[in-house]
Structure 1
Amino acid sequence: MQHQTAETNANRLTIALFSIYLAALCWILLLKLGVKFSYMNNRRVNLVPFRNILQDHGRIANSEILMNVLIFVPLGLYAGILFSRWSFKKKVLFFFLVSFIVESLQYILAIGSFDATDIITNTTGGILGLLTYIILAKTLNNRFKAQKVINIIAVLGTVLMVLFLGLLKLNMLPVRYQ
């Protein structure tokens, strides 16, 4: 009985953290942190993956690719925990669809571009998060222990993310948008 209570509490915490992550994802990707970026007036569709990868005098835009991957890693971690009955392929399709919807909304709402590269890199991030969860669960030989470890890390990450986004929104960081 006590194990079921601990598992139920862990599931509630995971769902709460997942909800906070989704809210932050929408705020970052759809509301653009409430800040008007200079590129927001540049609505375009890029259906050729990695076409615009070379920027800044021919150097690869590694930071944008890395950020697109990293922002979807938590989605993969949470999908591994919360959608454990789904097949691997169904989870990958979920990552793709979430990214596709975000990219479509950015274009439709005139807050960004629809970019095939972003869909690929976001989906890759989800897959990396899912693989991280799978490896952790196998290493610990227990899905519940893996969930507890991820929840602890996610609580710390969520607190840091909320603090960072709050400071950014209040213009208390040396980062400026143009």
Structure 2
Amino acid sequence: MDVRSQATAATDDGPSWRFTTKRAKAETVAIFAVFALYAAFLLRLLLLSRAPGSERSINLIPFASIAEYVSSHSSGTGRVAFANVVGNILIFIPLGVYVSWLRHRSAAWLTVLTVASVSVAVEIIQGVFAVGASDIDDVILNCVGGIIGILTFRLLSAILREQSLVRTAIAVLSLLSLPVWCYFLFVVRLHM
């Protein structure tokens, strides 16, 4: 190989490396931007959707609220119960995915601990400022959602195998979810 072909090969490699770096940066920025919108939505939903002092109740008995929902035969309670149980699971699935992506080299139990810590912190703040019901069942359901998110991330990582492909997939999924978070954050009036 002569000197000129080596120089051509070096310049051919250069732009693709720079493109990959720019692409990786753009994907990372997209992930963090959508994560910030998601975090703002969680903050609004869990802590800012009620006036301070409007509601204060504390339940430290595991599965008591869920058992109450199951045993109630009122049609209105059934809808609220479904929304509460499923909602608590669904809103923490993205947190499990994002925390897994941020801490992809950490043990799964540390990621679960992070999700659980966020959930416990929310419940404590709700109790202290009387902006919602502090309920151990919410922590349990939030952790279930976080674990589903963690498992989803692990499955995605096992299928794609390369961190750059996982990052691309998380960026695409984040951008696809962007309208949902914007809708919930800016359009919907949250009344809980």
Q: Return the structure number with greater helix share.
A: 2
The yes-or-no answer on 1:13 pairing with 2:30 is yes
Change (3 A) 1:177 1:95: closer
Task: Report the alpha carbon displacement of residue 88 of structure 1 after superposing the two structures with TM.
Answer: 1.0
**Structure 1: which 4+ aligned runs deviate by more than 4 Å?**
none
Moved more, 136-145 or 18-27: 136-145
The yes-or-no answer on 1:151 pairing with 2:164 is no
Task: Report the alpha carbon displacement of residue 142 of structure 1 after superposing the two structures with TM.
Answer: 2.0
Please, which runs of 5 or more residues in structure 2 have no aligned partner? 1-16
Task: Report the alpha carbon displacement of residue 7 of structure 1 after superposing the two structures with TM.
Answer: 2.0
Task: Report the alpha carbon displacement of residue 83 of structure 1 after superposing the two structures with TM.
Answer: 1.4
- CA RMSD for the aligned pairs? 2.3
Task: Report the alpha carbon displacement of residue 75 of structure 1 after superposing the two structures with TM.
Answer: 0.6
Q: Please give the per-residue CA displacement for 1:68-101, whole angstroms capped at 9, x wherever unaligned.
A: 0110001111112111232211111100100000
TM-score for both structures, normalised by structure 2? 0.78
Hey, what's the Cα distance between the residues in 2 that align with 1:12 and 1:126? 22
| Partner SS state of residue 52, structure 1 | helix
Aligned to 1:22: 39
Please, which runs of 5 or more residues in structure 1 have no aligned partner? 170-175
Aligned to 2:13: none
TM-score for both structures, normalised by structure 1? 0.83
Q: % of aligned pairs identical?
A: 31
Hey, what's the Cα distance between the residues in 2 that align with 1:159 and 1:78? 17
Moved more, 88-97 or 50-59: 50-59
Hey, what's the Cα distance between the residues in 2 that align with 1:75 and 1:45? 24
Hey, what's the Cα distance between the residues in 1 that align with 2:91 and 2:160? 25
Task: Report the alpha carbon displacement of residue 57 of structure 1 after superposing the two structures with TM.
Answer: 1.9
Aligned to 1:172: none
Q: Please give the per-residue CA displacement for 1:87-126, whole angstroms capped at 9, x wherever unaligned.
A: 2111111001000000111111111121000001101111
Larger Rg: 2
Q: Please give the per-residue CA displacement for 1:115-173, whole angstroms capped at 9, x wherever unaligned.
A: 0000011011111101101101111222221221222122121222212442223xxxx
Hey, what's the Cα distance between the residues in 2 that align with 1:44 and 1:143? 44
